[in-house]
Structure 1
């Protein structure tokens, strides 16, 4: 066999303006080069404890359990659902984009009786609609996406969470796209379990799924584990409807609790460098301040939207429920959307996204997430998009986009300096 020679890895410089993955903060990249520690080294378990506390602050919760699942964001969704679903459980999934369908697939694989409700892509559900469906089908679980990147829409959760709690229904939320970019109050909104992502508003590489869940979820884990270990009492069995062991080993939250908790029982080898990255990403979020970070995302979104509309483009979706960190644009009639994306990438080094399903070829999606959510990025993508659209024959309002964005940036009010 011929042994090939390979050169050192060199990747092209990109300005990533997709809904994820996004540009990683350079401080996070530096943290990833920190020397490796053993996973049971006291210095490393101290880092684990710090990450758990930082996640509680990020999720705005007092939950005991808050830790990352090693794997991409989807691993967090599966870990939560497979640990609480027993065959035959009724699960309600309201679908308003691609990732609601992902919830359905995961739930069906673990034997759930899945009920769905759907609205048009570009819209969200009125809370009353979801609450009425909950009362109709009486599910054990409602699995709901918060920020749907495929449509650029964000589902209101507070009223749904309160209703779920009153009706003794578990609310599981996918906040992969929104955590760290917009306000999410886990305890106040009565969210029982929530899954985040690292590669979006946290500006950490993909590879971990931060989660948190409350004692209502932990009770289910504990009861199922007793049955699995054969130590359930008659009273335990009365509390467990079916007593089906958790099928997954890797995604078993009760086993992950033993690993992340004080027992430190070996479950898997922790992704050391990724944990360093997550810790630094969380540190930067908390250093900036949650409210300040949310306001930054709103501010740069406003500049981007102003520029796009001044250019003559039309936004897609319900503006009332727009996801702050994702802006969807209708591809103008007669314009080859993929040709525009290709030219942006090849001539400017800028990546924006297309979409999925019924929106494939109909919209572009621009992400302003985390470290990518910066003035220079917004101005760069607006200028480049104008140039590319001109090359494609679209009648752009020349020069208006950057001026409109600059109006937003230059109108920023600064507090006057007080004289001593």
Structure 2
């Protein structure tokens, strides 16, 4: 097999200065929002830190929901900025329960900001976002949603749900590049960010993005944008718009359902044990005594089956069916490879039965 000619990526044409606003408008249309869209020219974890650094202030009462290491990081960044953070941590590896959120808000009625992840690619769980946002709206709480993984894989109508801040990563279900990210912000969110002590002169400053791009007419972006990332983002949106976002979400749902059925027929227990799974990755519990590292090492490099991340996931693996991988052929390749690795490890696994009702692989 001839390796790709990566030199074709050299000397890319510049991205047109008017194109950034166009991408913002296309993304806003897809996600159902009239909120401002700004861009962080870095991977989405930087955007999450920028939101925490820009919105938090000394004494701000925050309820931070933790269902993976990402929630823990956000809580740390909020504390660093001086916020008074109450962490609400789910059972290890499980989604948070809306009842637990309601109870925490009753115990902390002064809460002004609520932060949570929508769908966790770390462990394959889905948090009950609409229920939690309804609780926040009823209490007039500003909401921050990490939708890095979920946008494109689950319904995410930002305005209808009442999300004040949504952080979007193109590299997951949208199938785009990993080197930039987007944030939607409502006027309520900007009201928290616009204060004298807000960080400026920093990649973590949302105010810099507002003043340097939004307030100047959304022309050229400050700094030196990486044209490859922007051309790739535009191409990803082209592909999403051609397929239709509803169809993209349905494709993820079909791939997830097929993966869950196949894993059960391989004899594996599905995760989470309680609550809803995501459409992005499917997690399964390995048989007792099976060496997870050895099993994963036996898999072909091109198959995206990895260890789950975070407390409570030490015996879990996850099959990635996100973005372009949300197809029957990608699911089949993963199940075939996993079945072979299980048999090599001495675990009976009937791959033919597992794939018996998979959708057509075309």
TM-score normalised to structure 1 length: 0.79
Deviation at 1:411, TM superposition (A): 12
Match of 2:87 among 107, 112, 116: 116
Deviation at 1:91, TM superposition (A): 1.3
Contact 1:154 1:321 in 2 (8 A): yes
Specify the alignment match of 2:232 in structure 1.
277
The CA RMSD measured in Å over matched residues stands at 2.7
Contact 1:171 1:193 in 2 (8 A): yes
Matched, 1:310 2:256: no
Contact 1:32 1:277 in 2 (8 A): no
Contact 2:213 2:222 in 1 (8 A): no
Contact 1:122 1:318 in 2 (8 A): no
Contact 1:301 1:368 in 2 (8 A): yes
Q: How far, CA to CA, are the matches of 1:77 and 1:175 in structure 2?
A: 10
Match of 1:86 among 29, 47, 57: 57
Specify the alignment match of 1:18 in structure 2.
none
Contact 1:34 1:276 in 2 (8 A): no
Matched, 1:99 2:67: no
Contact 2:342 2:349 in 1 (8 A): yes
Specify the alignment match of 1:209 in structure 2.
181
Matched, 1:290 2:255: no
Specify the alignment match of 1:335 in structure 2.
290
Which segment drifts farther, 256-265 or 332-341? 256-265
Q: Deviations over 1:118-162 (max 9, x none)?
A: 221242233232133223222221111111222211111223223
Match of 1:57 among 18, 25, 29: 29
Q: How far, CA to CA, are the matches of 2:42 and 2:319 in structure 1?
A: 25
Deviation at 1:172, TM superposition (A): 0.2
What pairs with 1:98-177 in structure 2 (closer than 5 Å)? 98-137=69-108, 138-177=110-149
Deviation at 1:248, TM superposition (A): 6.0
C-alpha spacing 1:112/1:262, structure 2 compared with 1 (3 Å):
closer
C-alpha spacing 1:120/1:332, structure 2 compared with 1 (3 Å):
same
Contact 1:221 1:253 in 2 (8 A): yes
Specify the alignment match of 1:21 in structure 2.
none
Q: How far, CA to CA, are the matches of 1:270 and 1:152 in structure 2?
A: 33
C-alpha spacing 1:30/1:83, structure 2 compared with 1 (3 Å):
farther
Specify the alignment match of 2:48 in structure 1.
77
Contact 2:170 2:177 in 1 (8 A): yes
C-alpha spacing 1:139/1:356, structure 2 compared with 1 (3 Å):
same
Q: How far, CA to CA, are the matches of 2:8 and 2:323 in structure 1?
A: 17
Structure with larger Rg: 1
Higher relative CO (Cα under 8 Å, sequence separation at least 6) belongs to 1
Match of 2:14 among 23, 37, 53: 37
Q: How far, CA to CA, are the matches of 1:392 and 1:266 in structure 2?
A: 53
Deviation at 1:35, TM superposition (A): 3.5
Q: Deviations over 1:249-291 (max 9, x none)?
A: 2221121123332615864222222111111112211221111
Contact 1:146 1:173 in 2 (8 A): yes
Q: How far, CA to CA, are the matches of 1:178 and 1:377 in structure 2?
A: 19
C-alpha spacing 1:266/1:188, structure 2 compared with 1 (3 Å):
closer
Deviation at 1:215, TM superposition (A): 1.0
What pairs with 1:17-32 in structure 2 (closer than 5 Å)? none
C-alpha spacing 1:398/1:189, structure 2 compared with 1 (3 Å):
closer
Match of 2:212 among 259, 264, 284: 259
Q: How far, CA to CA, are the matches of 1:98 and 1:284 in structure 2?
A: 31
Specify the alignment match of 1:401 in structure 2.
354
Specify the alignment match of 2:170 in structure 1.
198
Deviation at 1:59, TM superposition (A): 2.0
Q: How far, CA to CA, are the matches of 1:181 and 1:292 in structure 2?
A: 10
TM-score normalised to structure 2 length: 0.91
Specify the alignment match of 1:6 in structure 2.
none
Size of the aligned set, in residue pairs, is: 358
Which structure 1 segments of 5+ residues have no match? 1-8, 12-28, 39-43, 228-243, 413-420
- Specify the SS of the correspondent of 1:353: strand
Deviation at 1:410, TM superposition (A): 5.3
